[in-house]
Amino acid sequence: MSTEKNKPIDTIRDGSLKATIWKNTGEKGDFYSVEFSRTYKQGEEFKDSHSFSGTELLRLSRLAEIAYTRITYIREADRQLAETNEQAA
């Protein structure tokens, strides 16, 4: 049994804002989720916040659009890999 922590499959950044893409497995198969955060420095430590100012919302919406597109490509690659595996079996 692996104790390795699930790692994100991609992180998209725009300055201090980031969209982290996660691959999950459920009863109906694999699915993807996105976590949005803002990195800031408190003293010498970097932290993440999940609240955004009004001036960050447009940038956040652009990150969401990029993440959506990236997940679309990932799903298509997964589908093609599954088809290739089925043909090889």
Report the distance separating Cα 61 and Cα 29, nearest Å: 27
**Residue 2, pLDDT score:** 46
Q: What is the pLDDT along the chain (89 residues), one digit of tens a residue?
A: 444 578 999 999 999 999 999 999 999 888 999 999 999 999 999 999 999 999 999 999 999 999 999 999 999 999 999 889 888 87
Sheet holding 29-42, edge to edge: 10-14, 17-26, 29-42, 45-49
